[in-house]
Structure 1
Amino acid sequence: MAILKFRVFFEEDDAVYRDVVIKHTQTFFDLHNVILKAYEFDNKHQATFYRSNVNWQRGREISLQKYDKPYQAEPLIMESTTIGSEIRDTSQKFIYVYDFAKNWTFLVELINVSKEESSKVTYPSLSRAEGIGPQQYGTRSLLGNKFADIEEKYDLDKGAEGFGEEGDDDNGSDDMVDDGGGENGGDEY
């Protein structure tokens, strides 16, 4: 059985990608779900794949369902279309569009074909995550959800010991101390 590894790039930043592995007999619906899980998106919106060429031009559509829009050719349906049936070459590309209102677009490229199926992996599966992915609703910090834990652990609240406002001074005097030694008296440190 062939195991396919796809690299799923976020269209707006090719440094952000997820590698997923899937059996060639699994469907585009399975691929759709693993991509959403890999990027931490919900499963509440419309979606479609397009078979693509090396120049990322959209070809045959493989859709979650038939939508109320004009088609040049009837779309294939994700649940009944196996991935292996749409692979034309060893570097096959697909374009995945999720949530037509937000138009999240991902570039999906076949990067490896293996005959070795791992008994430790449940397919489809995420095999690598690189970069901070987009957040479906709102913004995501570099630390993500872990920031609150770090803030609590290190007590980064305002006024924590050793931290003050810029220009704050404990005794209200200048930093330089005049020891009465005249012009050069302050040089003896």
Structure 2
Amino acid sequence: MYKIRVILDTKEDVIRTILVDSDLNLEDLHLTIAKSFGFKGQEMASFYRTDNEWAQGEEIPLFNMEEVGEGISMKTCLLQETLPSVNDKLIYVYDFLNLWTFYVDVIEISEDKKEGLPQIILTVGEVPTEAPEKEFVAEKLDDGFGVEEDSDDEFGSFDDFDYNEY
């Protein structure tokens, strides 16, 4: 049995702690998390492997996205293989149009068997009516062109070009 803490990425604390069977696959975990936060579980979603600092890594999509063969998907990933230890983490993104983002953290693993799982054992906070706005900022990369302003090449200046001529 796994005890998992799921935290919604919002300004206010919105947390669910859930108990699930250790033989669960990630597709069932996706549905459990979505429903525990009041969603129907019908939107596209992905889990992302992460390190202890929550740096986003490999994607585990809801469905196999490979054109040929069997690729990774939530259905093929078992909880006990994906998160084998206490403090293992995943990032969960639900509904790619709204980008509800959750932090999933294993807080306890036991050999106990319990009836009636999955089960929510702790609820903190209310889910906002709209997903928090996400800001994606890329690192500034050196493109190899230097810091020159617009430079004219062998074609001349584009500012002098008469676009109405055509």
Q: What's the TM-score once normalised by structure 1's chain length?
A: 0.62
1:20 aligns with 2:18: yes
Specify the code of the residue in structure 1 equivalent to 2:35.
K
Question: Residues 127 and 75 of structure 1: is their aligned pair in 2 closer, same or farther, counting only changes over 3 Å?
Answer: farther
Match of 1:49 in 2: 47
Aligned partner of 2:88 in structure 1 is 92
1:132-147 to structure 2, matched below 5 A, reads: 132-135=126-129
- Output the amino acid matched with 2:77: T
Structure 1: distance between partners of 2:9 and 2:16: 12
Q: Partner of 1:171 in structure 2?
A: none
CA positional deviation for 1:14: 6.2
Q: Which amino acid aligns with 2:17?
A: D
Q: Secondary structure at the match of 2:13?
A: strand
Mapped partners of 2:130, 2:39: distance in 1: 6
**Gap change, CA 1:136 and 1:43, over 3 Å in 2:** farther
- Taking a change above 3 Å as real, the CA distance of residues 13 and 6 of structure 1, as seen in their structure-2 partners, is farther
* Match 1:117 to one of 97, 109, 113: 113
- 1:21-56 per-residue CA deviation (whole Å, 9 max, x = no partner) reads 111211001110111111101222110001111110
Structure 2: runs of 5 or more not aligned: 132-166
Could you give the per-residue CA deviations for residues 61-113 of structure 1, whole angstroms, max 9, x where no partner exists?
A: 21101459xxxxx9621112111111253200100001111111000011111
- 1:1-189 alignment, distance < 5 Å: 3-13=1-11, 15-67=13-65, 76-119=72-115, 122-135=116-129
Larger Rg: 1
Conservation of the 8 A alpha-carbon contact between 2:85 and 2:109: no
**Cα separation, partners in 2 of 1:20 and 1:102, compared to 1, 3 Å:** same
Aligned residue pair count: 128
| Structure 1 residue identity aligned to 2:41 | N
Q: Which runs of 4+ in 1 moved over 2 A?
A: 134-137
Deviations 1:115-170 (A, max 9, x none): 22223xx2222221111122368xxxxxxxxxxxxxxxxxxxxxxxxxxxxxxxxx
Q: Are the counterparts in 2 of residues 9 and 18 from structure 1 also a CA contact under 8 Å?
A: yes
Does the CA contact (< 8 Å) of 1:8 and 1:109 recur in 2?
A: yes
Q: TM-score, normalised by structure 2?
A: 0.70
Percent pairwise identity = 30
Equivalent-residue separation in structure 1 for 2:12 and 2:78 (angstroms):
27
Unaligned runs of 5+ residues in structure 1 are: 69-73, 138-189
| RMSD of Structure 2 on Structure 1 (CA) | 2.1
